[in-house]
Amino acid sequence: MASAQTLPFFLWVVILIAPLLTTPSKTQSPAPGEIFSRGFTAANLSFGGGAEVLQNGILRLTNDSLRALGHAFYSSPVRFKNPSGGRAASFSTAFAFSIVPQYPSLGGHGFTFAISRSRELPGALPSQYLGLMNSSDLGNFSNHIFAVEFDTVQDYDFADINDNHIGVDINSLASNKSVTAGIFAENNSTLKEIYLKSGAVIQAWVDYDSLKNQLDVRISKSSVKPTRAVLSFNVDLSEVFEDYMFVGFTASTGLLASCHYIMGWSFSINGQAKSLDLSSLPSLPSSDGNGHKGLILGVSFSASAAMILLASVAFYIVRKTWNSDVIEPWELEVGPHRFPYEELRKATHGFRDKELLGFGGFGRVYRGILPNSNTQVAVKRILNGSKQGLQDFVSEVSTIGRLRHRNLVQLLGWCRRRSDLLLVYDFMPNGSLDKYLFDEPKSILSWEQRFKIIKGVASGLLYLHEEWEQAVIHRDIKAANVLLDAELNGRLGDFGLAKLYEHGANPTTTRVVGTLGYLAPELTKTGKPTTASDVFAFGALLLEVVCGRRPVEQKALPEELILVDWVWEKWTLGSILEVVDPRLGGQFNEVEAVMLLKLGLICSNSSPQIRPSTRQVVRYLEGELVLPEKALPPDGNYDIKKGSGGGTGLDDCTHSYRSSSYYDKVTMWSSTMDEGDHDLEAGLTSPASGSSISDCR
């Protein structure tokens, strides 16, 4: 028996379902203005993936499982053209939806209203593909797919504008047009943003006028259709639509999940769809911690059976609480995904040594396979003795976890078990870049691969410095922290030392941390990390990749080799190409090599004012800007042999890594997996000044 709460919904279905009794067959044409209202029952919908209808009639496309997809199309095809072909018909639809993220404000990934030649969508993928397409069929005219996406994740592969947008997709998921989700105030051009993943019930209207070739999309949290569209797009869908098409919805989740609900739906060919009365729709299911499945059971219990059930549930909860960690209130505010400890223990086979990828000052890193999705991950297990407070560290992780860029290693989630902290990252099958450059590399990277890696890291660094909502200073850029994915794309990782600032803010003084050979000289004086100090480290990385040598080397020569000085000396002698990694066998682009070496020298300048900005670096690498004709020496002032302009000579020039005795005694503390990392907080003394590095705050 239907409850009083759900009865209005079923009345609405009964009233509007009548036209379905006379739905035209495939040989019939819908009459102008005829309304097709889709009552959500299994009888008139075709499902795929995890889509299902809950007991009260709500269509749920996905639950809060990771990397899931779901779609539901009306079972019968709808005629969009006359038998002779020609212009596509006008259509109108209204539907009410709700996106309930597993964790507040961290949605994934979104849903679409879709019109497709097929109701099966073979090969469709989850995550950024929204359960609609896959990587091999993007952009194919043969797809015959039209969709309006309601996207809650910013995907850079598809040039998404933000993580709260509406887009028009034609045969691809790179939107033809997209806008921030919102509503225009009456008689006002001000857009009021509506957050799609807020969990609120939102009504959407999609109207296509085939005579004007105009598509309009509107959304509102009310039952009243806004007068002004939030998205208008001029398009002729005649080439997209075939005579008959299927109409419905798709959705997906990724490494973060949301439940995607459709509460009600009306659709019309050559007419206006009826707006929905939101107050008459059923209520969303309450969360029970297991994917909102509580309403599906629909079982009536006697009083005695209910008592038994309650006793069993209470026993289960007590037992689980006894065997698990107590979650403190502050942890509920932390994102991204919080993994159960048992899941990560199983993924790494009990953190056994066979799965160990590396270790360093923070802890050990293990390879793992998540049991529920067979996804490979890297799990960093933080040592108990870490000096950083657990709550402070997790708060920082909460921010870093929101970074999204194809050239950054993605932080997928975390876990706390008593005093242990575990961080879960994308698994990079080809390991770190340094394994391909130094000592006895596992294989030799070609010139083309090296150039692509450099450009990728620069793009990721630009995102950190200028394109995210805050400025992120990485503070530990080096070859060991550049990881390579399956296609040998470079991804900057390990944000254990990163600092965040508001754009335009003055960085605060902090302890000097980083790795010897990559530290900008001004850091030991000011203790203030900046984007310019990151650029200095990037310059060292540039020279590493081109030369195949470390910034500081002691093994091959009686005296240490300072890479930037050696490259500058070869430059002044006119033999710059001699520094290119000999393992390339001369197979490299000389013009690109000279450009990278010159850029490396400029980035390595001891004066932060002379170094280029990260955006300039990217433009140099893309060929949009031409480098200065002359390369400046690393200190911007001295002559290679005797000094000039009142400056010091080569032997007197101090870099952050210049003193061999200092190098012998100090290894900079780092969050990487280098063996023997230490924290300079203890106050090791520089022989040059007699002052402790930890005094620079």
Domain stops at, among 375, 400, 426: 426
Of 89-93, 522-526, 537-541, 690-694, the poorest mean pLDDT is in 690-694
Residue 597 has pLDDT above 90, yes or no: yes
At 326-354, the pLDDT tens digits run: 555 445 555 567 888 889 999 999 988 88
CATH code at position 57: 2.60.120.200
Does 380 appear as a known binding residue? yes
CATH code at position 631: 1.10.510.10
Both 414 and 521 in one domain: the answer is no
Residue of 432, 437, 459 lying closest to 450 (CA atoms): 437
- Please report the pLDDT score of residue 394 as a whole number: 60
Both 264 and 377 in one domain: the answer is no
**How far is residue 174's CA from residue 390's CA, in Å, rounded to a whole number?**
40
Higher-confidence residue of 321 and 695: namely 321
- Please list the active-site residues: 476
Residue 447 has pLDDT above 90, yes or no: yes
- Please report the pLDDT score of residue 25 as a whole number: 37
- Please report the pLDDT score of residue 169 as a whole number: 96
For residue 296, what is the enclosing H or E element?
Answer: helix 294-297
Question: Span 286-309, mean pLDDT?
Answer: 45
**What tokens does 690 get?**
């007699």
By the 8 A CB rule, do 275 and 181 touch? Answer: no
Both 372 and 489 in one domain: the answer is no
When pLDDT is cut at 50, 70 and 90, the band that residue 306 belongs to is low
When pLDDT is cut at 50, 70 and 90, the band that residue 12 belongs to is very low
Domain stops at, among 426, 447, 481: 426
Both 459 and 422 in one domain: the answer is no
| 315 located within any domain | no
Residue of 475, 593, 585, 588 lying closest to 530 (CA atoms): 475
- Please report the pLDDT score of residue 68 as a whole number: 92
Of 132-146, 226-240, 669-683, the poorest mean pLDDT is in 669-683
- Please report the pLDDT score of residue 8 as a whole number: 38
- Please report the pLDDT score of residue 680 as a whole number: 27
Of 24-38, 465-479, 562-576, the poorest mean pLDDT is in 24-38
Helix/strand/coil for 72? strand
Range of the domain at 501: 433-695
Residue 690 has pLDDT above 50, yes or no: no
Could you give the percent of the chain with pLDDT greater than 70? 72
| 284 located within any domain | no
Higher-confidence residue of 32 and 257: namely 257
- Please report the pLDDT score of residue 37 as a whole number: 52
Both 638 and 492 in one domain: the answer is yes
Both 405 and 531 in one domain: the answer is no
**How far is residue 400's CA from residue 404's CA, in Å, rounded to a whole number?**
9
Both 582 and 511 in one domain: the answer is yes
Overall number of domains in the chain: 3
Residue 539 has pLDDT above 60, yes or no: yes
**What tokens does 479 get?**
């070859």
Q: What is the pairing mode between strands 191-193 and 182-184?
A: antiparallel
| 174 located within any domain | yes
- Please report the pLDDT score of residue 99 as a whole number: 96
Both 534 and 621 in one domain: the answer is yes
The model carries a pTM of: 0.49
When pLDDT is cut at 50, 70 and 90, the band that residue 362 belongs to is low
By the 8 A CB rule, do 580 and 516 touch? Answer: no
Question: Span 656-662, mean pLDDT?
Answer: 32
Residue 63 has pLDDT above 80, yes or no: yes
**How far is residue 43's CA from residue 31's CA, in Å, rounded to a whole number?**
23
- Please report the pLDDT score of residue 135 as a whole number: 79
For residue 452, what is the enclosing H or E element?
Answer: helix 447-462
Residue 83 has pLDDT above 80, yes or no: no
When pLDDT is cut at 50, 70 and 90, the band that residue 220 belongs to is very high
CATH code at position 384: 3.30.200.20
At 477-497, the pLDDT tens digits run: 999 899 999 899 999 988 777
| 324 located within any domain | no
Both 151 and 211 in one domain: the answer is yes
Residue 666 has pLDDT above 50, yes or no: no
Report the mean per-residue pLDDT for the chain.
77
Both 266 and 153 in one domain: the answer is yes
Dihedral sign (CA 375, 378, 384, 386): negative
- Please report the pLDDT score of residue 141 as a whole number: 82
Backbone region of residue 256 per phi and psi (left: phi > 0; alpha: psi in -120 to 50; beta: other values)? beta
Of 422-426, 508-512, 590-594, 621-625, the poorest mean pLDDT is in 508-512
| 299 located within any domain | no
Question: Span 162-166, mean pLDDT?
Answer: 92
When pLDDT is cut at 50, 70 and 90, the band that residue 31 belongs to is very low
Higher-confidence residue of 532 and 679: namely 532
- DSSP at 283: P
| 53 located within any domain | yes
Both 362 and 486 in one domain: the answer is no
Higher-confidence residue of 622 and 516: namely 622
- Please report the pLDDT score of residue 554 as a whole number: 66
| 321 located within any domain | no
Write b or e for each residue in 357-368: b if 16 or more Cβ atoms lie within 10 A of its Cβ, otherwise e: bbbbbbbbbbbb
| 107 located within any domain | yes
- Please report the pLDDT score of residue 115 as a whole number: 97
- Please report the pLDDT score of residue 26 as a whole number: 38
When pLDDT is cut at 50, 70 and 90, the band that residue 287 belongs to is low
Domain stops at, among 426, 455, 481: 426
Report the C-alpha dihedral over residues 37, 40, 46, 50, rounded to 10 degrees.
Answer: 140
Both 500 and 372 in one domain: the answer is no
- Please report the pLDDT score of residue 283 as a whole number: 86
- Directed axis angle between helix 447-462 and helix 590-603, to 10°? 40
Higher-confidence residue of 383 and 471: namely 471
